[in-house]
């Protein structure tokens, strides 16, 4: 059986951690998930002048490498992501589309010269995965400070928001017509 949301782990995060996040995803989007760590080529997205990976190129790669039967896909990577006009992004998703990508790199305290805090990183990753998947379900950024769909451009902002969509985002989600194969 093919799950509705496929999580592709291309990072050092253990699958056991991702299992916990997958449960949250199932609950939020009322659907099934599965996790794999099949090889995923990141090199095409690499920009040597910036030392970062173009997340838009990664999304295209992700779609090319995935069978169409996988309804929605989210890749978890541990490289620094960017889109050309911005210095970095935590992740990127196709609005109302199939694919999303999230990086652990800037979610970790170590990146900012602070002691590693795995729990914090886990919580941030959980929120960002739900957030990017929310975009693939057509959700926009939300103004509510505690909604997972609130835009975060600063890592501490991720800590402030909740892990779940607010009431109005939930209502919007219920209105989404989606029939996974």
Report, as residue numbers or ranges, the catalytic residues: 132
Of the listed pieces 1-9, 65-73, 80-88, 114-122, which binds other proteins according to CB under 8 A?
Answer: 80-88
Nearest-approach distance from CB 55 to other proteins, in angstroms:
9
The verdict on 44 binding other proteins (CB under 8 A) reads no
Stretch touching other proteins by CB under 8 A, among 1-9, 24-32, 108-116, 147-155: 147-155
- Site string (85-124) toward other proteins, x via CB under 8 A: xxxxx--xx-x-----------------------------
Q: What whole-number distance in Å separates Cα of residue 94 and Cα of residue 135?
A: 7
Residue closest to 101 by CA, chosen among 138, 136, 74:
74
Q: Cβ 161 to other proteins, closest distance in Å?
A: 14
List, edge to edge, every strand of the sheet that includes 46-47: 46-47, 52-54, 81-82
Q: What value, to the nearest 5°, has the Cα angle with vertex 114 and ends 15 and 18?
A: 10
Kindly give, in sequence order, each residue whose CB lies less than 8 Å from that of residue 126, ignoring residues fewer than 6 positions away.
Answer: 20, 21, 24, 163
Q: How far is it, in rounded angstroms, from Cα 149 to Cα 128?
A: 9
Interface with other proteins, residue 145, by CB under 8 A: no
Site membership for other proteins, residue 171 (CB under 8 A): no
Query: Could you tell me the smallest distance in angstroms from the CB atom of residue 155 to other proteins?
Result: 10
For residue 8, the SS3 value is: strand
Residue 61 in the binding site for other proteins (CB under 8 A): no
Relative to beta strand 81-82, strand 72-77 is unpaired
To the nearest 10 degrees (0 to 180), the angle between helices 118-136 and 15-29 is 40
Note whether 154 binds other proteins by CB under 8 A: yes
Residues binding other proteins (CB under 8 A)? 50, 56, 82-89, 92-93, 95, 135, 140-141, 151, 153-154
């Amino acid at each position: 059986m093919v799950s509705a949301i496929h999580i592709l782990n291309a990072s050092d995060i253990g699958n056991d951690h991702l299992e916990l996040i997958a449960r949250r995803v199932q609950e939020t989007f009322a659907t099934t998930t599965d996790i794999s760590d099949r090889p995923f080529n990141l090199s095409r997205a690499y920009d040597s002048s910036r030392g970062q990976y173009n997340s838009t190129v990664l999304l295209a790669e992700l779609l090319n490498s995935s069978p169409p039967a996988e309804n929605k896909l989210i890749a978890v990577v541990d490289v620094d992501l960017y889109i050309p006009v911005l210095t970095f992004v935590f992740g990127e998703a196709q609005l109302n589309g199939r694919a999303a990508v999230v990086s652990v790199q800037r979610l970790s305290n170590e990146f900012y010269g602070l002691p590693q805090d795995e729990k914090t990183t886990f919580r941030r990753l959980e929120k960002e995965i739900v957030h990017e998947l929310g975009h693939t379900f057509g959700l926009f950024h939300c103004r509510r400070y505690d909604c997972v769909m609130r835009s975060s451009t600063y890592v501490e902002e991720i800590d402030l928001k909740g892990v779940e969509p607010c009431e109005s985002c939930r209502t919007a989600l219920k209105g989404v017509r989606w029939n996974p194969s």
